[in-house]
Structure 1
Amino acid sequence: MTKRDYYEILSVERTATGDEIKSSYRKLAMKYHPDRNPGNHEAEEMFKECAEAYEVLSDPTKRQRYDQFGHQGVSGGPGGFSGFTDMNDIFSHFGDIFGGGGGGSIFDEFFGGGRNQGRRRQGSGSRGSDLKINLKLTLEEIADGVEKTIKVKKFKTCDTCKGSGAKGESGYAKCTHCNGTGEVRQVSRSIFGQFVNVTMCNVCNGEGRVVKERCGDCHGEGRVKTEAEIKVNIPSGVSEGNYIPLEGQGNAGLRGGPAGDLFIHLEEEAHSIFVREEDDIYYELELSIIDAAIGADVIVPTLKGKAKLKIDAGTQPGSILKMSGKGIQRLHSDRRGDQLVRVNVHIPTKLSGKEKDILRELAKSENFKPNGKKKSEKGFFKKVFSE
């Protein structure tokens, strides 16, 4: 089934600001919220669809990829839409929208918090930072796509402590703040009576234990420096300034925290003979006056080697000849652009006496007289004989 446009789902323009996107999502989320539509499967699907659109459009990086590549740029691949398996995933992911009665359960304002404040966080460390590298590509590589191996200096998870930062199991101690439960319970009262609000322990971050003795290899950080070789597939048709996101290939997080992402910024190397214009490429062909006049089959370079090009008799200077399908394969498509050949007719500047005599004879023919030329333009023979 074809996915709907994310901007259409949230009823916003493609130029909408982050605040406008958030405001629209909040209204739609309240409209389709399961607590307001019990047993309504259609409303539940709309709620999930809005959440998916908001996850992408609220993230500047994902939004940029979506604007460039559409759904393919953010679905199923690294750094794309993460997907939600149930309602709790959505409530947990968008706590800023649903927490504290701001569009979550309509009873939250009485119960004092969102649904999942007591859910444990996996790992007590912080997320690793994102990395960005520049990668230059030739026009030939862009035309058909290419697999590249890149070297990246980054932090990786410590093999000794597996990212915990502790010196084995004996390096841990029970968290005294939560007494090892990873949760802190608070009793609150409302008009409905007394309720227990369970939140994650902010000392051990839900782990129930803290590091007592640090790992000797990573000094308690849970990560070490390394240089990694990473293979990346570059699709055909990418452009200067595009990014290839690789989820989880950035710096490893501190003490078991999730890794950041790696963003590959693409740069296009200038070509010696071709000029790119979107999916088409342009080539300047120097043609002799004879071949332009009587026609010829000439050999021209293409991105995939040499190819034959037919020159019709009477081809004029400045003519554009099209070689269909000899350009760049369009991004996420089977269609290829064209190679457009601009004809430059070479006019000789040094002629022998015999050559001039031959041209004088030809000049007597009506076929060699300019037709419809501007008075200010010099004909070929006038230029030759003025030397």
Structure 2
Amino acid sequence: MSNHYETLGVTRDATGEEIKKAYRKLARKYHPDVYEGADAEERFKEVSHAYDVLSDPQKRQVYDATGNENGTPGGFGGGSGFQGAGFAFQDIFENLFGGQGGGQGPIPRTQRGQDALITVRIDLRDAVFGVNKKIEVDTAVLCPTCQGSCCREGTTVQTCEICRGRGQVQRPVRSILGQVMTVTACTACQGHGTIIPDPCNECGGEGRVRSRKSLTIKIPAGVDTGNRIQLGGQGEAGPAGGAPGDLYVEIRLNKDAQFTRRGDDLYASMTVPMTAAALGTELTIDTFDGTQQIIVKPGTQSGEVSTLRQLGVTHLRGQGRGDLLIELVVETPTKVDAAQEELLKQLARLRGEEFTEGRLNTANGVFAKLRDKLGHL
């Protein structure tokens, strides 16, 4: 019996990955469809059997201990059957051939390109009315030299001589049932059935190149942060002239210095002097629709809201727009001169508010009257 380690050309302490690598190299070398020697089939069987033993931890342990893989519990001669041997055809095929199945024919070189996603930032005004925006995208585009053929000018793809265009090859595998044939992807052509003997210089045989292209996209009114716009066919070009994928544009709104968005409504605040809030006034505010007038009624309190209808964000789905809501913040003066202080005191006295030593006297006046009223309830 030949030494399995010598057959594969590895040492006795070789790792599983080293054993697999050695086997694949020898299997390609001695494959009957490639190797021209008269003993090609016998050598291929010997290499496959050595790998079958050394790639299985249990079989390898028995082999290292006894010098052969038979007549030991857990081996083929242990009488434990297929389950006892831990023998599964699917596992063998995946271990030997990387899980590549057969029977599906050659793999097309032409594939659909991947979808792409980019982020675009816009101002709040653009979300209110919509905007046409120019963007630049770094992506894969059809090779301008070969137009997706992948070949140098004047040349074409050729049928693979190893698999004869099938994209697959048959390989014998030694099993407990004897030698069986399995079908795997051809390694010479990577399963395509054809090879590119003279690839295009610009794309290297890919049929596409990286480039930057400019697009003008229409961003509809009403979009908000997180919304995505799908542009069909504007994604990456596919290999070998394949159809391009789609491009998705994700919207991000820039923060506005004046307005805050909540849904389709806009919010802002305006400061109103104390005297103007008490007497009433008319204010102006610059909006996305131009200058608007706000009526401040006499006696307006801080926190009251003035609503300007249909001056918010356009509804993304449906008609009309949201509202613009203005919160009025009454400003109380923090510093007053002597004349202003005297006027305020006079106003307080006229309103029944009494001052003692510069402070509001709560023993009399409106606060005392209010206390008396509450006490009689």
TM-score per shorter chain, which class? 0.5 to 0.7
1:124 to 92, 109, 114: 109
Matched-pair contact (CA < 8 Å) for 2:207–2:241: yes
Matched-pair contact (CA < 8 Å) for 2:150–2:203: yes
The one-letter code matched in structure 2 to 1:279 is D
The one-letter code matched in structure 1 to 2:222 is G
Matched-pair contact (CA < 8 Å) for 2:107–2:193: no
The one-letter code matched in structure 1 to 2:213 is A
Matched-pair contact (CA < 8 Å) for 2:229–2:250: yes
CA RMSD of aligned residues (A): 3.7
Q: Give the whole-Å Cα distance in 1 for the aligned partners of 2:233 and 2:260.
A: 36
Q: Give the whole-Å Cα distance in 2 for the aligned partners of 1:123 and 1:326.
A: 56
Q: How does 1:84-163 map to 2 (within 5 A)?
A: 124-163=109-148
Does 2:268 align with 1:283?
yes
1:171 to 147, 156, 179: 156
Q: Give the whole-Å Cα distance in 2 for the aligned partners of 1:240 and 1:154.
A: 24
Q: Give the whole-Å Cα distance in 2 for the aligned partners of 1:316 and 1:122.
A: 75
Q: Give the whole-Å Cα distance in 2 for the aligned partners of 1:354 and 1:236.
A: 54
2:326 partner SS: strand
Q: Give the whole-Å Cα distance in 1 for the aligned partners of 2:224 and 2:202.
A: 42
Q: Give the whole-Å Cα distance in 1 for the aligned partners of 2:326 and 2:352.
A: 26
Q: Give the whole-Å Cα distance in 2 for the aligned partners of 1:180 and 1:169.
A: 21
1:266 to 251, 255, 269: 251
Measured against aligned partners, the alpha-carbon deviations of 1:69-114 in whole angstroms (never above 9, x if no partner) come to xxxxxxxxxxxxxxxxxxxxxxxxxxxxxxxxxxxxxxxxxxxxxx
CA 166–292 in structure 1, closer or farther in 2 if over 3 Å, else same: same
1:197 aligns to what?
none
CA 139–337 in structure 1, closer or farther in 2 if over 3 Å, else same: same
- Which 5+ residue runs of structure 2 have no aligned equivalent? 1-102, 168-187, 355-365, 368-377
Matched-pair contact (CA < 8 Å) for 2:150–2:240: yes
Q: Give the whole-Å Cα distance in 1 for the aligned partners of 2:138 and 2:109.
A: 24
CA 260–317 in structure 1, closer or farther in 2 if over 3 Å, else same: same
Measured against aligned partners, the alpha-carbon deviations of 1:175-232 in whole angstroms (never above 9, x if no partner) come to 67998899xxxxxxxxxxxxxxxxxxxx999999654421122111001121111111
Q: Give the whole-Å Cα distance in 2 for the aligned partners of 1:148 and 1:359.
A: 56
How many residues were matched structurally? 239
1:364 partner SS: helix
2:242 to 257, 276, 295: 257
2:210 partner SS: strand
Identity of aligned residues (%): 32
Q: Give the whole-Å Cα distance in 2 for the aligned partners of 1:207 and 1:367.
A: 98
Q: Give the whole-Å Cα distance in 1 for the aligned partners of 2:108 and 2:270.
A: 63
The one-letter code matched in structure 2 to 1:272 is A
The one-letter code matched in structure 1 to 2:232 is E
CA 357–223 in structure 1, closer or farther in 2 if over 3 Å, else same: same
CA 276–242 in structure 1, closer or farther in 2 if over 3 Å, else same: same
Measured against aligned partners, the alpha-carbon deviations of 1:208-262 in whole angstroms (never above 9, x if no partner) come to 9654421122111001121111111111111111112222222211111222222
Q: How does 1:217-232 map to 2 (within 5 A)?
A: 217-232=202-217
Which has the greater radius of gyration? 2
Matched-pair contact (CA < 8 Å) for 2:280–2:300: yes
Matched-pair contact (CA < 8 Å) for 1:128–1:257: yes
2:314 to 329, 333, 342: 329
**Residue 130 of structure 1: how far off its partner (Å):** 2.3
Q: Give the whole-Å Cα distance in 1 for the aligned partners of 2:229 and 2:353.
A: 56
Q: Give the whole-Å Cα distance in 1 for the aligned partners of 2:289 and 2:299.
A: 29
**Residue 368 of structure 1: how far off its partner (Å):** 8.6
Give the alignment's TM-score, normalised by structure 2.
Answer: 0.55
